Structure 1
Amino acid sequence: MLVNPVVEPPEKQGPGADSPGSDRDRRPAGRRRHDREIVALALPAFGALVAEPLFVMVDSAIVGHLGTAQLAGLGVAAALLTTAVNIFVFLAYATTAAVARRVGAGDLPAALRQGIDGIWLALLLGALVIAAVLPAAPALVDLFGASGTAAPYASDYLRISSLGIPAMLVVLAATGVLRGLQDTRTPLAVAVGGFTANAGLNAILVYGAGLGIAGSAWGTVIAQNGMAAVYLWVVVRGIRRQSCESGRTAVKGDGGTRGWWAALRPDPAGIRACAHAGLPLLVRTVSLRAVLLIATAVAARLGDTEIAAHQITLTVWSLLAFALDAIAIAGQAIIGRYLGAGDADGARAACRRMIEWGVACGVVLGLLVALARPLVGPLFSSDPAVQDALMSALLVVAISQPVSGVVFVLDGVLMGAGDGPYLAWSMLITLAVFAPVAFAVPALGAGLTALWWAMTLMMLTRLAALWLRARSGRWIVTGAAR
């Protein structure tokens, strides 16, 4: 449920409270406080992140029993839809940082207003995506090389499922609102509820109603819109409650005060501000997606065995990223709150502690991957050649996990600080470094292991750029807005 921020600004904590940026932060008590905050935010965030890909897994499990062509069509459409939604993940990131700053500044009405602006931006972008996808569905499916038997199923699924894109973008923006309010439990509950509803609706519509792959698409759309409706109800309830608790209306206009519902109206200036803040993060996300697409394209050039092993390795890498991204999400919320409260020392102390968490989690995950390598191959493939290629690639992934841990944490810290332009430029530079190295792998006759060392170089480049920024302190800008 939507609640008031769990931590008040330092000036409201009373004379006996520990200052978050004081020397106490370097003592056990200060470290324990940061640990509690990180765990409270990161654990539910991890659960919500893991629940998201389960939507596609459920659809695949149910549609797979309809036939190979239907499953192939679902695979193409799901790849297109996932790409479309992931590009707009900045709606969650930018909203988290903006809301957390205003929470830290003690201005909850402004935080909620910022969230409403982000939700309106999500609706507008979702409408534009629908307008683009509906008429272009067959062409997009052909672009992905769907076979003649799979293409009609892919087009049908894509057209229907595109109707759920606005809802998913609203979910992203509203998730950012709640994260900024230091609440990651509500997104977890909504994600679990959405997953459960999606599974039930798919089974009923695909088999019970006999709608086939179209039933799977409609079930997902209904579940997505239900999730968006729950989020909107939570945010609206929070605005109304805050208005009642403050003893005043949520919005003031030139002609006096208006009802709390006026805060729900679209504010063009606020929407433009959200778009402006999100644009650098969009560039960062697209650049990162380009890295992953280049890696897959290079792996495909290496041969069928290599692309199969690469896909499995990428799946493991993505699963590990969920755990590390959960810490990054905690970083976004915590850093934004400290900076909004004007507590630069507290932000630095939290950053240091989260880096320690990133390193520790990276080491643990790396050891787990290294030890589990012999089990992963047979789990995903019965081909001995694929299993051999996988052993070497996963070893590289295991070695690189401590680096990934710090990269994810610093990425979250700078997002929480609203340092989007630097993230955009650093990711563009990383892409420029990675691309020629990756394309050189097949040219030099190297294999999949070399490609994953190139991926490690990409992460090291990101680490260097993010570490330099973190050390410089230029990301530290206090106040309710950057």
Structure 2
Amino acid sequence: MARSVPALAAPALAVLAAEPLYLLVDTAVVGNLGTLALGGLAVGGGLLGWAAALLNFLAYGTTARAARRAGAGDRAGAVAEGVQATWLALGLGVVVVVLFQLLAGPLTRALAGGAGPVAAAGEQWLRVACLGMPLLLVALAGNGWLRGVQQLRRPVVFVVAGSLVSLVLCPLLVHVVGLGLVGSAVANVAGQAVSAALFLRALLAERVPLRPQPRAVRAQLVLGRDLLLRAAVLQLAFLVAAGVVARTGAAELGAHQIALQLWLFLALVLDAYAVAAQTLVGHALGAGRPDRARQTARAVALWGLGTGVLVGGLLLLLRPVLPGLFTDDPAVLAQAGVVWWFLALMQPLAGVVFALDGVLMGAGDVRWLRTLTIGSALVGFLPLSLLSGPLDWGLAGVWTGLTLFVVLRLVGVLLRVAGDRWTGAPATVSA
């Protein structure tokens, strides 16, 4: 079992890291345009990232359902989950595009604290970048069913191919062609188009019925409601934090963008163990092997802890170097130094939290995860973020809230996995 976790986590890591790695490069490329462009990317990217994370149940929910069916020997049923998730992804993606085209101005102004150059830059970026949402969601659904049938290497090729297109186009369009911030958005959409096309081709190759089934799609929405609500509250907390920082100053917002992108990148790196846990736990419980599911929980927790310690140490070691890769603005660099200790020291805790999240998702225990995440955000993250503005705590207050959020979740998942109720959680398999 201990060898199965890294064997599945390694390709999952490549998939999970590809998109945030591109975003880190994107942040560095745009950061060299100036503080206003970096702030615009923070505002527009924050809104688009909120929408993508809100709909991430298309990947995680589909993985849990497909893994249960594959573990029970029903591969065709596992792939069918992917078909319906893909239809759902296309429909939701179109809705998101329409909403952002209608509300891009008000949303960016609200997040940036009013009209101004940062809000205008964020709106310009968002109107172009949101066109890739249906493509991004199709890739999420594709990742979900392929993970469920334990084919984690094919998504690596699909996602890395799209990310490489974006990585090449981003500096060319931004600096060489001279599109500026808009070039970043165009590169983003181009890469998503490549990945989505590859996932669709893989689904067509399975030769299963492709017709949408409204009842199955509705069932997926119902079964995904807990993950959706969990993601909504979590992303609301991140948006509130970004709004508080935006009202503090452009330098603080730029530093928050750099640190947050690193945090999200590292969260997805550590989440590779969650993907492995989902697949292994889903298969084990689908096959009627709760003992194997418990072994997986212990293994992924240890792997997450060890990796978190390593990542945190590297962040502290590279503290004098990394922030300078994103900006040369002394004010932004000074603010980045404020949050760096928070970023590094929470990594071991986050490694365990994300790994055990995957265990509970694979078991279908999403109601518990929903309640725990919402409670931790309402008790820890949101209050400290909101108080940071009037009490002039700045970035330190916001990142203290984020740290408390991780600590509360850690306590919750450890208590849950220590018991037996999660092994009997209802399977998230649609009719």
TM-score (norm 1): 0.77
- For 1:477, the aligned partner's letter is G
Name the structure 1 match of 2:292.
346
More deviation, 112-121/158-167: 158-167
More deviation, 47-56/179-188: 47-56
Task: Give per-residue Cα distances to partners, 1:185-222, cap 9 Å, x unaligned.
Answer: 22221122112223455577778888776565445434
Matching residue within 325, 348, 355 for 1:402: 348
Does the 8 Å contact 1:182/1:333 carry over to 2?
Answer: yes
More deviation, 61-70/125-134: 61-70
3-state SS in 1 of match to 2:346: helix
Counterparts of 1:271-290 in structure 2, within 5 Å, are 271-290=217-236
- For 2:197, the aligned partner's letter is A
3-state SS in 2 of match to 1:106: coil
Does the 8 Å contact 1:341/1:479 carry over to 2?
Answer: no
Does the 8 Å contact 2:60/2:361 carry over to 1?
Answer: yes
- For 1:232, the aligned partner's letter is L
3-state SS in 1 of match to 2:217: helix
Counterparts of 1:356-395 in structure 2, within 5 Å, are 356-376=302-322, 390-391=336-337, 393-395=339-341
Give, in angstroms, the shift of residue 162 of structure 1: 2.8
- The verdict on how the C-alpha distance between 1:57 and 1:393 changes in structure 2, with shifts beyond 3 A counting, is closer
Does the 8 Å contact 1:66/1:212 carry over to 2?
Answer: yes
Counterparts of 1:57-456 in structure 2, within 5 Å, are 76-145=43-112, 154-200=122-168, 217-237=185-205, 239-240=206-207, 260=208, 263-299=209-245, 307=253, 309-376=255-322, 390-391=336-337, 393-434=339-380, 435-441=382-388, 446=393, 448-456=395-403
Give, in angstroms, the shift of residue 102 of structure 1: 0.8
Name the structure 1 match of 2:405.
458
In the alignment, the residues of structure 2 paired with residue 439 and residue 207 of structure 1 have an alpha-carbon distance, to the nearest angstrom, of: 37
- For 1:81, the aligned partner's letter is L
In the alignment, the residues of structure 2 paired with residue 442 and residue 152 of structure 1 have an alpha-carbon distance, to the nearest angstrom, of: 23
- The verdict on how the C-alpha distance between 1:155 and 1:113 changes in structure 2, with shifts beyond 3 A counting, is same
- The verdict on how the C-alpha distance between 1:217 and 1:373 changes in structure 2, with shifts beyond 3 A counting, is closer
Computing the radius of gyration over CA atoms, which structure comes out larger, 1 or 2?
Answer: 1
Name the structure 2 match of 1:251.
none
Give, in angstroms, the shift of residue 268 of structure 1: 1.2
Unpaired stretches in structure 1, ≥5 consecutive residues? 1-33, 241-259
3-state SS in 2 of match to 1:342: coil
- For 1:115, the aligned partner's letter is G
- The verdict on how the C-alpha distance between 1:428 and 1:265 changes in structure 2, with shifts beyond 3 A counting, is same
In the alignment, the residues of structure 1 paired with residue 264 and residue 246 of structure 2 have an alpha-carbon distance, to the nearest angstrom, of: 19
Does the 8 Å contact 2:67/2:149 carry over to 1?
Answer: yes
Task: Give per-residue Cα distances to partners, 1:93-145, cap 9 Å, x unaligned.
Answer: 10011011111111101101111111111111112112222233333343344
Matching residue within 35, 47, 69 for 2:2: 35
Give, in angstroms, the shift of residue 236 of structure 1: 1.9
- For 2:154, the aligned partner's letter is T
Give, in angstroms, the shift of residue 286 of structure 1: 1.6
In the alignment, the residues of structure 2 paired with residue 124 and residue 304 of structure 1 have an alpha-carbon distance, to the nearest angstrom, of: 36
Does the 8 Å contact 2:39/2:254 carry over to 1?
Answer: no
In the alignment, the residues of structure 1 paired with residue 366 and residue 293 of structure 2 have an alpha-carbon distance, to the nearest angstrom, of: 17
Name the structure 2 match of 1:476.
423
- For 1:465, the aligned partner's letter is G
Does the 8 Å contact 1:142/1:151 carry over to 2?
Answer: yes
In the alignment, the residues of structure 1 paired with residue 389 and residue 248 of structure 2 have an alpha-carbon distance, to the nearest angstrom, of: 6
More deviation, 195-204/160-169: 195-204
- For 2:399, the aligned partner's letter is W
Unpaired stretches in structure 2, ≥5 consecutive residues? none
3-state SS in 2 of match to 1:475: helix
- For 2:61, the aligned partner's letter is A
More deviation, 86-95/137-146: 137-146
Name the structure 1 match of 2:17.
50
3-state SS in 1 of match to 2:73: coil
Does the 8 Å contact 2:364/2:425 carry over to 1?
Answer: no
- The verdict on how the C-alpha distance between 1:73 and 1:461 changes in structure 2, with shifts beyond 3 A counting, is closer
- The verdict on how the C-alpha distance between 1:316 and 1:476 changes in structure 2, with shifts beyond 3 A counting, is same
In the alignment, the residues of structure 2 paired with residue 444 and residue 72 of structure 1 have an alpha-carbon distance, to the nearest angstrom, of: 23
Give, in angstroms, the shift of residue 375 of structure 1: 3.9
TM-score (norm 2): 0.86
Give the superposed CA RMSD. Answer: 3.4
- The verdict on how the C-alpha distance between 1:315 and 1:222 changes in structure 2, with shifts beyond 3 A counting, is closer
In the alignment, the residues of structure 1 paired with residue 333 and residue 33 of structure 2 have an alpha-carbon distance, to the nearest angstrom, of: 29
- For 1:189, the aligned partner's letter is V
3-state SS in 2 of match to 1:233: helix
Give, in angstroms, the shift of residue 52 of structure 1: 0.4
In the alignment, the residues of structure 1 paired with residue 121 and residue 338 of structure 2 have an alpha-carbon distance, to the nearest angstrom, of: 37
- The verdict on how the C-alpha distance between 1:275 and 1:376 changes in structure 2, with shifts beyond 3 A counting, is same
